[in-house]
Amino acid sequence: MGARRQTHALHSGGHPMASRSRSGSKKSASKKVGAKRPQAKRPHVRKGAVGRATSRVARSGVAPSVVACWEDDPGDPKTQPARIPIEVPEPSQSVTPLAFKLRGAAPAPQVYPLGTHAFLYYAVASALRRTASFWGGMLPRGTRWQVGAVLAVNADAGVDLNAFYTRGGMEPAGLYFFHQAVRGRVFNSGESPDIASHEMGHAILDAIQPDLFDTQTIEAAAFHEAFGDMCAILSALQVASFRDQVLDDTGGALNHSSRLSRLAEQLGAALRMLRPDLAEPDCLRNASNSFFYRDPQTLPPNAPASQLSSEPHSFARVFTGGFLDALAGMFKLAGAANSARLQRAAEDMARILVAGIAGAPVVPDYFSRVAASMIQAGDAAPFNGKYRDALKSAFVRRGLLSLQAAASLGALPRAPRGRVAPSAARSAAARRALPMLAIPAAHYGLAQPILLVQSAAGGERPSVTGAALQLGPAEPRSAQSAAQAYTDDLFQRGHVEVGKHARAQGGLVNPFAFKTHVVAERGGSLVLERIAFNCGFHG
């Protein structure tokens, strides 16, 4: 990717996107798909399986056309029973407030064979419509995409095990999905609702809290990835047949491992073919996990999928695990386990999550601030504290809140009551810029002594932190140390494009790593700027 894109990426494999020509990769990609795919067959589909949020039926009284898509991830057919697509009404892409548009002409709406471009088109469109319809009702009036009125979508942008969200730059703004053949099987990232919802989740979070896009801390980047996974989980629960399957699989204990918690199973299988430790044993990431919060500055920058590291997708699993525990507790409070109550619990969790993000300042200890703000949002109307114990116990058990922080929440300023404050969706021009910090640049091999980076110092910081591995709460991190630790991680993983700003002999240049940041000169000073969010998984 080099300095070409500002993106949030779910996963990447093969070679860095910087080396890929968009026009060239599309041409070669089509040949590869035609050579590798088995003969397409019309899929068996189940009818009437989708909840009310999946697609908007035409009001004209004329029965809408139907298309086929997946309930959640297509799964790994080598280790799991084959899944059957479902029929849904033709998805409208123009419904506001979260309108989107797939690139290219839409195929005639009908049920298409698996493995065809037309099936992929409607699989992507249906998953995004489900996600946009659900979250559109949770956001404050006036919320808009950061990239404009309509979110552009490229269902197949070329060869890669990847998907990303970009605000624009060298590439047009929007969502991008890819395909790649691995050992004779073609994997389409956009075909999976888990991945499609995750990527749209980046755009949704960017609309709610745009300051996170540029914040140079581990927890800001990791929360973006956690929100993508939480978005996929809550969006999947809008499908009625999927809710029934989850209840059958878990007996109502939502934080047990199931299709709900196992995210991107098919892509995980592809990555394990490239290197076994790139993904978890049965998916890309599993929200049903046992990870406990640790200061990310004490973790290695990379680790096998079975361990925790400061890499954003890896560290995100701490918050996603606490979220799933909290959702399970909220659902248990609803009474007898049934589909309607599960859908209501998902809707309540989405409202609490959005309000929690709106009420949390952007600080280095961001996980803890969001957790505390979610509890306070649950104490306000319309919930009035009914989920307090479920939320608090889940976040304390994960170490996202220390015991002392959880006990002190009543004395802290409350999050906004009711719907999210309109200021959460303010335009980029109206936002107060987060301050820049100067860190030493010599040990990065740069030609100047100082490097300026974006800080996480967005407001007052009450003493709310996670738990320490020893007794008591973790020490609050300073914006300076958090920024420098994250910058160290980026250089160690080779994710910074230094260009002409490296010293002749001492510069750190990794030509093979996916570039997420660039060193640029602004007004005579060197500035570290984000150009991409990337998972860091490379085959």
Residues 318 and 394 grouped into a single domain: yes
The DSSP secondary-structure symbol of 280 reads B
Q: Is residue 536 part of a domain?
A: no
pLDDT at 61: 54
Q: Is residue 35 part of a domain?
A: yes
**Cα–Cα distance, 89 to 65 (Å, whole number):** 6
Residues 437 and 407 grouped into a single domain: no
Residue 83, phi-psi category: left (phi > 0), alpha (psi -120 to 50), beta (remainder): beta
Q: Is residue 140 part of a domain?
A: yes
Residue pair 488/466 in contact (Cβ under 8 Å)? The answer is: no
Residues 14 and 53 grouped into a single domain: yes
Residues 143 and 232 grouped into a single domain: yes
H-helix segments, 209-338: 218-236, 240-250, 265-274, 312-333
Residues 394 and 466 grouped into a single domain: no
Q: Is residue 417 part of a domain?
A: no
pLDDT at 434: 78
Q: Is residue 276 part of a domain?
A: yes
Residues 403 and 466 grouped into a single domain: no
- Whole domain around residue 493: which residue ranges? 433-530
Residues 396 and 443 grouped into a single domain: no
**Cα–Cα distance, 516 to 343 (Å, whole number):** 37
Residues 157 and 89 grouped into a single domain: yes
Residue 469, phi-psi category: left (phi > 0), alpha (psi -120 to 50), beta (remainder): alpha
Can you tell me which residue has the tokens 């091999």?
A: 445
CA proximity to 377, closest of 397, 405, 358: 358
Q: 349, 381, 411: which is the final residue of a domain?
A: 411
- Kindly write down the DSSP assignment for every residue of 340-356, as one continuous string: HHHHHHHHHHHHHHHHH
List the beta bridge partners of residue 521: 526
Residues 383 and 445 grouped into a single domain: no
Residue pair 10/535 in contact (Cβ under 8 Å)? The answer is: yes
Can you tell me which residue has the tokens 């803890």?
A: 368
Q: Which amino acid belongs to residue 115?
A: G
Q: Is residue 1 part of a domain?
A: no
Residues 482 and 340 grouped into a single domain: no
Domain count, the chain: 2
Residues 233 and 153 grouped into a single domain: yes
539 residues of the chain, pLDDT tens digit each: 333 334 445 543 333 333 333 333 333 333 333 333 344 455 566 664 443 333 333 444 556 799 999 999 999 877 778 899 999 999 999 999 999 999 999 999 999 999 999 999 999 999 999 999 999 999 988 899 999 999 999 999 999 888 888 887 667 899 999 999 999 999 999 999 999 999 999 999 999 999 898 899 999 999 999 999 999 999 999 999 999 999 999 999 999 999 999 999 999 999 999 999 999 999 999 999 999 999 999 999 999 999 999 999 999 999 999 999 999 999 999 989 999 999 999 999 999 999 999 999 999 999 999 999 999 999 999 999 999 999 999 999 999 999 988 888 865 555 444 333 333 434 333 344 678 889 998 889 898 999 998 888 765 555 688 877 766 677 788 888 888 888 888 888 887 888 889 887 665 677 777 677 789 899 999 998 877 666 544 43
Structure tokens at 17: 């996107």
Q: Is residue 504 part of a domain?
A: yes
Burial track 28-37 (b if 16+ CB lie within 10 A, e otherwise): ebeebbeebb
pTM: 0.85
Q: Is residue 344 part of a domain?
A: yes
The DSSP secondary-structure symbol of 119 reads H
Residues 378 and 505 grouped into a single domain: no
Residue pair 208/424 in contact (Cβ under 8 Å)? The answer is: yes
Cα Rg, the chain, nearest whole Å: 22
Work out the angle between the directed axes of helices 312-333 and 339-359 (0-180°, nearest 10).
130
